[in-house]
Amino acid sequence: METAEPQEAPVTLRLDGKVALVTGAGSPDGIGYATARRLRDLGARVAIVSTTRRIHERAAELGITGFVADLTDEAEVGALADAVSDHLGDVEVLVNNAGLTSRASPEILRPVSQLTYDEWKSEIDRNLSTAFLCSRAFQGGMAEQGWGRIVNLAATAGPVNALPTEAAYAAAKAGVVGLTRALAMELVADGVNVNCVAPGTIYTAASTVTEIKQGLGTPIGRPGTPDEVAAAIAFLCSPAASYITGQMLVVDGGNSVREAEFR
């Protein structure tokens, strides 16, 4: 029985000339912003998008292109796809970061017994539907070119663990993993790799005192940084990740693998 020879591919992190879109990059100290900066430094032509006009400030700081869009709105996602294509060309790298909580749009913390259906839908739309709509809008161009990378932002909450009062967020992030794996199988023959990154406690301006304390309690002994998450995302976006698809990479300082608190 003959076996297929592995295709030669450059084992490189460089993304020279590739068009990349990072969603949810409005905060200057967030994961989206750090990811956009890293992809730019790797040679990509980067666009970023958020729901407010502050995205233009972030774009100016990085010397890239910014767009404003509500990614829970199907029509606005379609308009974004057209705008990015007109300005930069077909997107080859998509990072679905939109949806992670912020001060402007905090996570809804309420037990299921008290959670309204509108609150449930809001969390699902913000954390899962955004990834679905953007992936659907940009996957076709990648498939036509025969190369692409989609990296979705999940979280340890949902796919790995959960806390009381976060059922909607956890369900959405678990759904991101399911979307990632299904899409990976749909696009594998087209040369498009789809993966997700699941951050644990990451220190940003939106971090609460409780979250910071949780980070100090990890095996590594501190919260993670947006740059550390961005490094993982950038690797999965690169040609070097050519044999990785449908996977979830946990970035949580070892917190999810220990059996008990260290003594």
- 131: tokens are 């990834």
Helix (H) or strand (E) holding 94: strand 93-96
Q: What is the 3-state secondary structure (H, E, C) of 1-33?
A: CCCCCCCCCCCCCCCCCCEEEEECCCCCCCHHH
> Half-sphere exposure of residue 6, counting CA atoms within 13 Å on the CB side?
5
Pick the catalytic residue: 117, 169, 203, 243? Answer: 169
Helix (H) or strand (E) holding 150: strand 148-153
Other Cβ atoms less than 10 A from the Cβ of 160: the count is 20
169 in active site: yes
The distance from CA 37 to its chain's CA centroid, rounded to whole angstroms, is: 14
Active site positions, annotated: 169
